[in-house]
Structure 1
């Protein structure tokens, strides 16, 4: 698909209509390539962006100053973002909503992406200096930026470092989930040729926020160097041992479950509330639209581990595995 055949539902973050003259000058000096649909991507400090996204990232670095008790959730696109948002929101606000029968839990009526806004895709995409004081403290934000990019903003903050939670998902499942997401997002059924073009883009690292292994490494290294403020979670481990991982998450966020909460089933209640099956069947997520104008159902699919086996040939899978193994060699970060 050529860029000139612009889909009717192209999201704002893929466009180039909200870029300052200064950023246009910067973009003209950057290495460029095209995504699998023919849209221009630009490489800034080792990471690929669409023009509007790069502008928002630069604005985050210049103007975002997190408060000490704010929380930032990070992930790859389609790497477990929706689930992580719902889990962290439910854990952090469990006393206010989960244990109060007089209140309706916000997750039952709002999409997780509306409860936990994206820094660069939503807040700074609409304003160079959005009013963050309207959000309660602690505020939960999310991002797809690499940790070193995010820290360009957080290191300028006068407060202590905020908490960062990163969820890491295997690249093969992330790729397949991303493929289905793009089909839903653009409301089209792309052919096998497009599938292979997207696969090639992933392998070359030329995707929005790519190369993805560099993003993984940034948070992996950050979690080793600063365990108190950076938590590295694996999507597959949350699936395999949800009780252990949610308790680990709560402990990191300085709101551990009490013995009474555990005995009363609070962890199980959160897991049931935040299960993708439950969230995807809610009316707001079946027929609603998020604040940034994307249909809510786009964010929900299977969430299964190993679904890549239904889409990738053995040769494709081996190519992915070889690339990831080579790029992560010596880091201590491995995938099954």
Structure 2
């Protein structure tokens, strides 16, 4: 990570004032929510975070299904389809109150949106089982826009989707460009063959949840029945997870100070191909050009509908 000098502030708001200010930490754009110094201290804590041998880490770019997969893996490790009373934020490494994951009993299911370079130092040494969940970038952009547009907080986005898409395609986002994030993790897998790593796709998990849940179970070393996989798939259907998030999770209480009225916290539609309702023909052509250029050589084939 960069030194203690005061970092340069990059103002990437558009002509309408929509967007954010960032600083760079080890070449990754980091949104300035409080101060760069506070964020750098959070990242230092993450680097020092003490991993346990039986931890599992879920790595995702924002809006790629981290809540969904966290619930699935948590249920697999408990051996039932009951919802965890906590939200996955309690096990998220970069939440400023990062003592929360330390307080969780083993076996822990940790999660993060961070690049590999910002994660705990001993991730490879301890051979922590890591699951990378990817989603097609068009649906990511729509989901990310609706998430940020629904917030009341200072990092919300008040512009149109068209304005947001311009920033998204230019990589002017917290955690930087989606393609950079994906390619960075693919390089990690190539450079660290001893790191046990499973790559899943949101769209495959949506299409065939039972098969993918079994794949996850095998990866983390669990022998599970078909019945349990089916029960978890049902409990983690979008409709039921959305209800559980509102009615069961402890964090559901009194969220009116965070979200605008009518916006659900984490679950909106969860559909594959919703981007067609947002992206114009001209925008789609531009998007395709960017995807072809930015993901060239990555060997990734996304599913868009």
Per the normalisation by structure 2, the TM-score is: 0.82
CA RMSD of aligned residues (A): 2.9
| Per-residue Cα deviation, 1:21-60 (whole angstroms, up to 9, x for no partner) | x75x3424xx623256343111222211023444422321
2:106 matched residue in structure 1: 137
Does 2:71 align with 1:86?
yes
In structure 2, what is the Cα distance between the partners aligned to 1:270 and 1:131? 25
**CA 1:76 to 1:55, structure 2 compared with 1: closer, same or farther past 3 Å?**
same
- Which residue number in structure 1 is paired with residue 146 of structure 2? 180
Corresponding residue of 1:112: 87
Query: Is the contact between residue 280 and residue 286 of structure 1 (CA under 8 Å) also seen in structure 2?
Result: no
Aligned with 2:248 (options 274, 279, 284): 284
Match of 1:195 in 2: 161
2:183 corresponds to: 217
Distance 1:287 1:44, change over 3 A: closer
Q: Cα 1:132–1:86, aligned 2, differ >3 Å: closer, same or farther?
A: closer
The 5-angstrom pairing of residues 185-334 of structure 1 reads: 185-186=151-152, 194-224=160-190, 226=193, 229-257=196-224, 261-262=225-226, 265-282=227-244, 283-284=247-248, 288-289=252-253, 294=258, 297-334=264-301
Give the deviation of 1:326 after TM superposition: 1.1
Gaps of 5+ in 1: 1-21, 99-104
Pairing partner for 1:126 from 81, 87, 97: 97
Deviations 1:105-148 (A, max 9, x none): 334xx35325x52111x2xx136xx3755321121111101123
Within a 5 Å distance, the mapping from 1:56-67 to structure 2 comes to 56-61=42-47, 63-67=48-52
Counterpart Cα distance in 1 of 2:101 and 2:232: 27
1:22-171 aligned within 5 A: 23=4, 25-28=5-8, 32-35=10-13, 37-50=18-31, 51=36, 52-61=38-47, 63-94=48-79, 97-98=80-81, 105-107=82-84, 110=85, 112-114=87-89, 116-120=90-94, 122=95, 125-126=96-97, 130=99, 133-150=102-119, 153-154=121-122, 160-171=126-137
CA displacement at 1:328 relative to structure 2:
1.7
Greater displacement, 214-223 / 293-302: 293-302
When the two structures are aligned, how many residues end up with a matched partner? 285
* Cα distance in 2 for residues equivalent to 1:229 and 1:290: 39
Deviation string for 1:189-216 (max 9, x for gaps)?
A: 977x532221111111010111111111
Q: Unaligned 5+ residue runs, structure 2?
A: none
Q: Which has the higher helix share?
A: 1
Change (3 A) 1:60 1:76: same
